[in-house]
Amino acid sequence: MKKTLLTIGAMIAFITGCTGGIDYVVHAPGGGETVYIYEDVIVEVEVPVYIEVEVPGETEYGEIWVDSFDQPQSVDGVDILWIIDTSGSMHRWDAQLMAGIEAMLEALPESGWRLAMLSNDPTQAATEAQFPLVPGDDIDDAMDMYNAMGRGGREEGFDAAYEYVVNNSYAATWMRPDAALLVVMVSDEEDQSDAHFPDIANFKSWYGSLRGGSAFLASINNVEQADSVCTSPPNPIDIGDRYMEATNFFGGVVVDICEEDWSPGVTDASARLEPYEELELTYVVSDESTIRVFINGALNWDWWYQPSDNTVYFNVIPAGNDHVEIAYHYDPDDPYGTGSGADTGDTGA
């Protein structure tokens, strides 16, 4: 959901809307050209459409941060797939898995959702034929489904998703083309899909084309060693880089599989299905006059900012599939407004 990407047009509109002789140096991705902005004079050169790294100089208000999200499309309900690693090493996570599924059941609305569990072995996903959980079902029903689902040794979550959605005839009897889709990938190893999606770009393209853009993704996997809370750092080959790359691409939630409780992350993933009416910003705004909101690259003023909760509220709710960017200045020495610059652990990425 939250990114540090800003279109060059949006960056120029944002900078020229500020005063105070602010200097910026903006570097384009891939060693491209550089844009220099100083004393409200803009020297433009050709750069790619999106800026990957923004490096402000000394400014009156601090550095620029951009939070962004894609507004979910208004849809009729949500179909949910938990695609679960069924290899032997996963049994140690059974308690967290059931707690996470129970948290999702409790976080979902009272109607409109359906949830199925299946193996990340594509051969099993293609033939899984259990009726989904529906409103009124509880954790006991979920445990029955988990215990009855097919199991296999292949750990190919992306291919399993394809086999179930496209090639499973039973799935076609209950999955709804007019509902949103949420897939939760759960594995303690890297995705090894080699049939449909050896190239992760192809998975992003296929999955992004589903449900009119209302396809969401979350993952529970081994994260980078520096970020892991595992007692022993995960083996590099077991880090779910492909799962995390795809999840971040779709603005989803990544949960460290070694967390004792997956519930907060799962609940957060459930909440992403609802349209955004406001957004709490990653960092405390150092001067609210510097806030700029862009919807699909166009400057927008149908919002207001409340300092007490550091949140932007929309007077007019962005439409489905709108891309919203909120740019603002923050103090890098005290990004959370604590007076101490303490790191709360939220990277905003």
What kind and span of H or E run contains 330? strand 323-330
Give the residue, 21 or 264, on which the prediction is more confident. 264
Mean pLDDT of 60-78: 78
Inform me whether the pLDDT recorded for 245 exceeds 50: yes
Digit-coded pLDDT (tens) for 102-114: 988 888 888 889 9
Digit-coded pLDDT (tens) for 30-50: 444 444 333 344 444 443 333
Tell me which residue has tokens 């609940």: 267
Looking at residue 6, the DSSP 8-state letter turns out to be: E
Task: pLDDT band for 61, please (50, 70, 90 cuts).
Answer: low
The strand ranges marked E within 109-191 are 113-119, 180-186
> What CATH class is the domain 78-271?
alpha beta
Q: What percent of the chain has pLDDT over 70?
A: 77
pLDDT reported for residue 341: 36
What kind and span of H or E run contains 205? helix 200-208
Q: Which positions ≥6 away from 215 have C-beta within 8 Å? A: 180, 181, 182, 183, 207, 208, 250
Inform me whether the pLDDT recorded for 88 exceeds 90: no
- Nearest partner of 328 among 79, 49, 56, 43, judged by Cα: 56
Task: State how far the Cα of 252 lies from the Cα of 349, in Å rounded to an integer.
Answer: 11
Task: pLDDT band for 71, please (50, 70, 90 cuts).
Answer: confident
The answer to whether the beta carbons of residues 311 and 280 sit under 8 Å apart is yes
Tell me which residue has tokens 């079902």: 137
Task: pLDDT band for 270, please (50, 70, 90 cuts).
Answer: confident
Highest-scoring range by mean pLDDT, 3-12, 186-195, 265-274, 285-294: 186-195
Average pLDDT, the chain: 80
Window from 36-45, 291-300, 328-337 with minimum mean pLDDT: 36-45
Task: State how far the Cα of 38 lies from the Cα of 25, in Å rounded to an integer.
Answer: 8
Task: State how far the Cα of 275 lies from the Cα of 36, in Å rounded to an integer.
Answer: 37
Task: pLDDT band for 56, please (50, 70, 90 cuts).
Answer: very low
Window from 58-62, 238-242, 322-326 with minimum mean pLDDT: 58-62
Digit-coded pLDDT (tens) for 115-124: 999 999 999 9
CB atoms within 10 A of CB 281: 19
CB atoms within 10 A of CB 152: 17
Inform me whether the pLDDT recorded for 186 exceeds 90: yes
Residue ranges, comma separated, of all CATH 3.40.50.410 domains in the chain are 78-271
- Per DSSP, what are the bridge partners of residue 83? 118, 185
Q: Which positions ≥6 away from 305 have C-beta within 8 Å? A: 285, 288, 291, 311, 312, 313
DSSP letters of 246-274?
HHHHTT-EEEETT-S--HHHHHHHHHTTS
